[in-house]
Structure 1
């Protein structure tokens, strides 16, 4: 009996709205060919050539490529660009006419000046960051992570104006309230920039699932998420692609897990009357056309800069972790556009503002860690209950009127939040017991609480005449 063989799909799937992969860049649109008929159109750049086609597959270097359309509805080209402008660009490019090439520096300066025209920000570096971030939304599939923006300001400070401006400039930008439906329409179908108004509502009861999805969606490996949707009494399993640029407009601070993935853009309530960013004041299609051209002619350069800078930062890690993840795309965009003189100033501003977004542990959480460390001073490990830890903390750290049980619960939450324990032991009459190891708790304290070298009750004083190297060697924490 001959066994049947399973045949594996041997092609490469591409997102139909925006893809940058294997030396190929693709932008997808739909257009109206007849009054009652729409078609898809794919603009493809590869090996120095740019063309468009309506078929959902093509070959390149003996490899087949397929556009994974499914139920995705692409952006209408007339809403963002135009058929006439696309035709002219492709024809001019194939004939090597100078009009088909965009000046990268000029595009950056144009976007920066547009932001200055329509919104008032605190510093010049904020305009540079917004310009680089907006341009980066056209290149974001190149990067493994892409920072969120948090437009944070009181009422009547220009948040709506800023969101409207971002909707004109960013790739396939859609302004919507935070819902699973909007996430599917904007991110999964369009790979668009998701502009979330009234982001304060994310902390309301019932929004936990969406908040969890959004929190992971700043990274490419956040991947697709499966969710169960109940609509008209029908149960439906939906699969969403979630990675995309996102902007959150809020009055209050965002939830902490979301906040430390953001660059905060502080708006100022201006005394000026700014024009509205509508079609009467700018030729937005022409501006976006320049951004499309920039993508199609510079995607390989941006990819190269990204690969190089990742290696350089690995060898000289002056920024690490999430700070590097979120900053690197902006630096790459600035360098690829020839804006080297903007990099250091913009980097300084980004890191200073990221410090506001980064999670700051509460005083009581630090008190929990210090209380544990005080019990570990003369030993490598110890077993404690949350109640025992709370009894060794200052009473002022807790809410007035908290019972011993409530204090123990607060301590227990901090233990779980920071993964302070190395092992959970069997319960005793005093409650749950945890094993704490000195090395692990010290590492957590240094990572989350201790800033620089400072003398505390947990670190011995060092004579003032010792240099920094000696301080580092003699400090236990």
Structure 2
């Protein structure tokens, strides 16, 4: 059957350098034996550490691992910073000091010397590391002496029942997803990326209560209804915590582009932002690591770029009476997650690494699969088929919903749908005719686009899709319109990549 939109083509060597380490930042000795400190951030940290260190020591760190002490992996070993009370001679008080606990039941103070002896060093200054008492002494002691260990499936059930008690969700499978997400915050550094969670709905549906619950039970959870970009980046680098951001509509405003810029890169391991810091009266550039779990709550939805990094959970009003979580319950949940992370994180990371290919797991790939991949790994590690099925079904349905949302408002999807109907023969086509026919297609199919296409934006869209080369423009003989060269094969290939249903 010939489409009413169908168109016809128009006829026509340097010296060797020895890498050394003083404290935990690299210095270099050149061929003349002169020690040279690195410029910028690392050199400043080095000088600060030398001044603060009682015993200077020199070690070869060429092949040593760098960690973010609050939470990280050394090889396949999980390391986590916890507080232990110690005597501070300056204040004369007992104060919490940072100690490192590992998944192989080792405990040692966070210091340059202790890390150096273990072949690792910190990517951030030690004094920047924040520690709060989140776990009971019994849980820490029990893990270290071997009398306590985590039970992942039991932890999964504990977290899920806690979520059910304090958050009302439409779909029972959302509890399974959110449970795996909470558990994953205790080992997120073992994954290449970690999805944001977005509680979305009108007023008085429990969005803030949901964030309050997550802040209490997630790894180093912080409820931050109002936080500046500077505080945001410093907090994440200092405690690798789970940020729970209420009233996140503000990230849509142009005046708050700084926060938005952070969030666009912070879902992925290695994400950093550049900030200026004052050190000794001099302003210098410094990179801050921003990768960490985040949960948001808002009435408005996110625009496409943010939404592509987020798993949205729609919420509606309920007649259930939801009681805020209390400290005793929250402590028990955190202890269970803490023990399960130290017991199972290495195995879960192995499972995650083996799940690089989505084939046979879900019918989608790319960024969307990367976001769900940690959740699949945790669900698989529980060895409970019902958990795996619930999480997988939720992910597939979420993917279908994303495609539906995308097709309703995306210029790319709409234009490719139009081209798949309009272009059946290879050749050159007039831009003005394409635009007229596309506008008719949009009207006939009741498609709501963010804004109408113009001749210029049509060209930009085609270039973005890889269907036009803007450096090789060709115009009609009368110079009044642009000519675009299409092949049916190329259109079909691009359309399939955008999950467009192809017209026969």
For Structure 1 versus Structure 2, the TM-score category normalised by the shorter chain is 0.7 to 0.9
Is 1:191 equivalent to 2:248 in the alignment? no
Is 1:144 equivalent to 2:192 in the alignment? yes
Work out which of the residue numbers 341, 346, 363 in structure 2 matches 1:295. Answer: 341
1:276-315, aligned counterparts within 5 Å?
276-279=324-327, 282-310=328-356, 313=358
CA distance in 2, matches of 1:238, 1:431: 49
1:253-268, aligned counterparts within 5 Å?
253-268=301-316
Structure with higher RCO (Cα < 8 A, 6+ apart): 2
Note the alpha carbon deviations across 1:207-258, whole angstroms, 9 max, x for none.
Answer: 334324312322225x32324589xx99653412122211121211111111
CA distance in 1, matches of 2:369, 2:114: 36
Question: Per the alignment, in what secondary structure is the counterpart of residue 454 of structure 2?
Answer: helix
The aligned counterpart of 1:169 is 217
The aligned counterpart of 1:467 is none
The aligned counterpart of 1:348 is 393
CA distance in 1, matches of 2:272, 2:410: 37
The aligned counterpart of 1:39 is 97
Task: Name the CA shift for 1:200/1:90 in 2 (closer, same or farther; >3 Å).
Answer: same
The alignment covers a number of residue pairs equal to 430
Structure 1 length-normalised TM? 0.79
The aligned counterpart of 2:379 is 334
CA RMSD of superposed structures (Å):
3.3
Task: Name the CA shift for 1:219/1:208 in 2 (closer, same or farther; >3 Å).
Answer: same
CA distance in 1, matches of 2:363, 2:438: 36
Question: Per the alignment, in what secondary structure is the counterpart of residue 111 of structure 2?
Answer: coil
Report the Cα offset of residue 370 of structure 1.
Answer: 4.9
Contact kept? 1:174, 1:195, Cα under 8 Å: yes
Question: Per the alignment, in what secondary structure is the counterpart of residue 20 of structure 1?
Answer: strand
The aligned counterpart of 1:448 is 498
1:103-252, aligned counterparts within 5 Å?
103-176=151-224, 177=226, 179-221=228-270, 223-227=271-275, 237-252=285-300
Question: Per the alignment, in what secondary structure is the counterpart of residue 296 of structure 2?
Answer: strand
Task: Name the CA shift for 1:87/1:209 in 2 (closer, same or farther; >3 Å).
Answer: closer
The aligned counterpart of 2:106 is 50
Note the alpha carbon deviations across 1:453-477, whole angstroms, 9 max, x for none.
Answer: 6xx4xx2xxxxxxxxxxxxxxxxxx
CA distance in 1, matches of 2:16, 2:416: 61
The aligned counterpart of 2:71 is 18
The aligned counterpart of 1:465 is none
Question: Per the alignment, in what secondary structure is the counterpart of residue 77 of structure 1?
Answer: coil
The aligned counterpart of 2:135 is 81
Question: Per the alignment, in what secondary structure is the counterpart of residue 154 of structure 1?
Answer: coil
CA distance in 1, matches of 2:114, 2:178: 36
CA distance in 1, matches of 2:348, 2:410: 43
CA distance in 1, matches of 2:411, 2:220: 44
Task: Name the CA shift for 1:168/1:427 in 2 (closer, same or farther; >3 Å).
Answer: same
Report the Cα offset of residue 162 of structure 1.
Answer: 0.1
Task: Name the CA shift for 1:383/1:155 in 2 (closer, same or farther; >3 Å).
Answer: same
Contact kept? 1:12, 1:63, Cα under 8 Å: no
Note the alpha carbon deviations across 1:365-423, whole angstroms, 9 max, x for none.
Answer: 545335555664222x53654x4421333447379xxxxx9732442453355343245
The aligned counterpart of 1:368 is 415
The aligned counterpart of 1:471 is none
Contact kept? 1:72, 1:188, Cα under 8 Å: no
Q: Which moved more, 1:122-131 or 1:207-216?
A: 207-216
Report the Cα offset of residue 348 of structure 1.
Answer: 0.6
Note the alpha carbon deviations across 1:257-279, whole angstroms, 9 max, x for none.
Answer: 11122222222311122111232
Report the Cα offset of residue 127 of structure 1.
Answer: 1.2
Question: Per the alignment, in what secondary structure is the counterpart of residue 121 of structure 1?
Answer: coil
CA distance in 2, matches of 1:103, 1:363: 45
Structure 2 length-normalised TM? 0.75
Report the Cα offset of residue 165 of structure 1.
Answer: 0.2
Question: Per the alignment, in what secondary structure is the counterpart of residue 210 of structure 1?
Answer: helix
Contact kept? 2:182, 2:218, Cα under 8 Å: yes
Question: Per the alignment, in what secondary structure is the counterpart of residue 243 of structure 1?
Answer: coil
Work out which of the residue numbers 403, 411, 425 in structure 2 matches 1:378. Answer: 425
Work out which of the residue numbers 471, 486, 502 in structure 2 matches 1:424. Answer: 471
Q: Which moved more, 1:336-345 or 1:177-186?
A: 177-186
Task: Name the CA shift for 1:277/1:397 in 2 (closer, same or farther; >3 Å).
Answer: same
CA distance in 1, matches of 2:103, 2:206: 38
The aligned counterpart of 2:125 is 70
Contact kept? 1:146, 1:326, Cα under 8 Å: yes
Task: Name the CA shift for 1:316/1:32 in 2 (closer, same or farther; >3 Å).
Answer: closer
Contact kept? 1:58, 1:66, Cα under 8 Å: no
Note the alpha carbon deviations across 1:138-186, whole angstroms, 9 max, x for none.
Answer: 1111111222111111111000000000001111111224642243133
Report the Cα offset of residue 133 of structure 1.
Answer: 0.8
CA distance in 1, matches of 2:406, 2:399: 12
Note the alpha carbon deviations across 1:16-46, whole angstroms, 9 max, x for none.
Answer: 1001231221111345524635532111233
Task: Name the CA shift for 1:447/1:69 in 2 (closer, same or farther; >3 Å).
Answer: closer
